[in-house]
Amino acid sequence: MSAINIAKKVFEIEAEGLNEVKNKLPKNFDEIISAIINSKGRCVITGMGKSGIVGKKISATLASTGTRSFFIHPAEAYHGDLGMIHSGDIIVAISNSGETEELIKLLSFFKENGNQVIAMTGKSESTLATHSDFLLDIGISKEACPLELAPTTSTTVTMAMGDALAVALMKARDFKAENFAKFHPGGSLGRKLLTKVSNVMKTQNLPLLDLEMDFDNVLKVISDGRLGLGVVIEDEKPIGVITDGDIRRILKSKKEKALSLHAKDFFTKDPKTIATDMKLVQAEEIMQTQKISTLLVVEDEKLKGILHRYDI
């Protein structure tokens, strides 16, 4: 079998595994979500080996989407890190077999400490499953590994189950993009959601036009401004724009007569504006909806700056 066909087969097997687990979602899934939300502490994820690696990702996703969470290694927990777990925490214990020794050793502590345990396991009759408060069955019929040894499909469905928890919790908490941005201030999304238009708009050497400006000077102002447009100002208020496109269209339609025109003869009225205190994400949405690349930034109807798509 060629490499590409092997790859396609892997996708097929793992897709089948995802469908299997989807159909096994417990009827009390809403109760599990409520238990996490109503817990007074954190959502603690634990697991060994590949389950632990996936668990770290699940914990990171939860933490960045409104659910306080951290990962604890079972072996390290048994040697002192259990002190990190408070009685109000809820535990998500991950083990495909449900018999991972390092994890099973912790169950008695969780019970004595008053922690609810959500078992994420592929064996519904395992020790982990039967000694937990809730069960998320991630059992699959086939690994994508041809030897049926390396965790492949099983880790994929575990990751997906973690995503299902995270998304359901986001919806339950009404977690919004603004909330997400607070945890991602360094990312592009965080920047757009937290940064105001006034922080990045251009305020110096703006390409300003007046109604009586002749064609040659209109060209010069727009060219010098390097923003692809000039803003027609009257009483400090932007009343219109002339864009590079307007120049090309007027030259094509009027030809030599275009050179005798003034700004008032061919400017576009009612330009698109945005307030100085608006966020970049709002500006981007306007640009996409209106199919434009520039917005005039105003305050009390007076021009304060110009925002270009490249500034976002």
Domains of the chain, earliest start first: 3-175 (3.40.50.10490), 197-311 (3.10.580.10)
Is pLDDT at 178 greater than 80 in this prediction? no
* Model-wide pTM > 0.85: no
In degrees rounded to 5, what are phi and psi of residue 301?
Answer: 70, 0
Count of all residues that appear for the chain in the document:
312
Confidence category of residue 136, pLDDT binned at 50, 70, 90: very high
Q: What is the number of alpha carbons within 13 Å of residue 265 lying toward its C-beta?
A: 16
CA distance 73 to 14: 27
Which pLDDT tens digit goes with each residue over 14-40? Answer: 999 999 999 999 999 999 999 999 998
> Per-residue pLDDT tens for 268-296?
998 999 999 988 888 888 989 888 889 99
Indicate whether 184 pLDDT > 70.
no
